[in-house]
Amino acid sequence: MTAKSPAESRRKHVNPMNRQSLGDRIISVFTYVIYAFLAFACAYPFYYIIINSISANNLSERGKVLFWPMQVHFENYTRMANIPGLLDAAKISVMRTVIGMTLTILISSFLGFMFTRETLWKRKLWYRFVAVTMYFNAGIIPWVLCMRNLGLNNNFWGYILPMVIQPFYIILCKTYCESVPRELQEAAEIDGAGTLTVFFRVMLPVIKPILATIAIFAAVNQWNAFQDNLLLMPNRPDLDTLQYKLWQYITQANSLKAMLSNTTNTNAIMASMATVATATSIRMSVTVVVVLPVMMIYPFFQRYFTRGIMIGAVKG
């Protein structure tokens, strides 16, 4: 066997990019530029809000802060402690997000699993009955009247129960469960496992990717919701959510500015214009507080969106 020359070895390790034609390289560069622009367009609004919340308030109010923070300070966040009910609203938002997400995952995955079981009586009828609700609804007023008749107005469970059953999540789970080899369930049933045992011990560990996807969707929906607070909780300010407070403060930022100025001590009256609360600084700071949790949690779930269709499946 003859030894390969260094030139032949180098030719085999040539980067494929170097073998591209001039037209291919131009297209590649153009593609990278387009994607870089789109990434910047998606990330810049979040960056803009953050830098304006920590920059001099008088400059932020006049729109001078565009690409980097100016005269950085964090008094906007320390001053938010003077906003009445903000911490209580944050607790309500966390509670409804955690409880709502957990129940949505369990119920959606269980219903999706049951719709794949041939032993379910009239399963196709019930599946169509659930799916049709994606396309038709009675509207807001009948929905509010229905919630009141069920006793869910001025009640914390009014946040949870109406959002537990989501047809789209059920369809996702059903489709994913259908891709799981039937042999897994049959092996468990031969060993004497019942429906609940098959679901909790066999299916849930296998369908973790779709559960993680539903978890992030459900959590974001619960965290961002405020319309149900507006319609169902008119007499329960103790059940106001953080998003509802944000909506109030965005629409009443000027009044909130005066309130914060009155609740500060006498030294704050002599503060520089850079740290005096403005309507813009209030909007930016509260928005960061509301959006930041989602921005921190989302990267941990993103990897499940592109995971393989099967985990722990039977090898053929």
pTM: 0.71
Residues in the chain: 316
User: For residues 197-235, b (16+ Cβ closer than 10 Å) or e, as one string?
Assistant: ebbeebbbebbebbbbbbbbbbbbebbbbbebbebbbee
Q: Which of 105-114, 178-187, 235-244, 254-263 has the lowest mean pLDDT?
A: 254-263
Q: Tell which residue, 104, 55, 81, 77, has the closest CA to residue 210.
A: 104
At a CB cut-off of 8 Å and minimum separation 6, what does 190 contact? none
Residue-wise pLDDT for 79-133, tens only, equals 776 677 778 888 888 899 899 999 999 998 898 888 888 888 888 888 888 888 8
Q: Which residue has the tokens 């003859």?
A: 2
Question: Which fold is adopted by the domain 79-306?
Answer: MetI-like fold (1.10.3720)
Question: pLDDT value at position 266?
Answer: 42
Which residue matches tokens 């921190």? 296
The span from the CA of 47 to the CA of 110, in Å, is 40
b/e per residue 179-193 (b: at least 16 CB within 10 A): ebeeebbeebeeeeb
Lowest mean pLDDT among 4-8, 76-80, 126-130: 4-8
Which position has the higher pLDDT, 253 or 297? 297
Tokens of residue 118, six digits: 């041939």
Class of residue 102 by CB neighbours under 10 A (exposed 0-12, middle 13-18, buried 19+): middle
Find out whether 260 and 78 touch, Cβ atoms under 8 Å: no
Per-residue pLDDT, averaged over 183-193, amounts to: 80
The mean per-residue pLDDT over the stretch 130-147 comes to 83
Q: What is the pLDDT of residues 262-312, one digit of tens each?
A: 555 444 444 444 555 666 777 777 778 777 777 777 777 666 655 543 443
Kindly list the domain boundaries of the chain, sorted by start residue: 6-75, 79-306
Q: What is the pLDDT of residue 184?
A: 80
Query: Which has more pLDDT, 203 or 2?
Result: 203
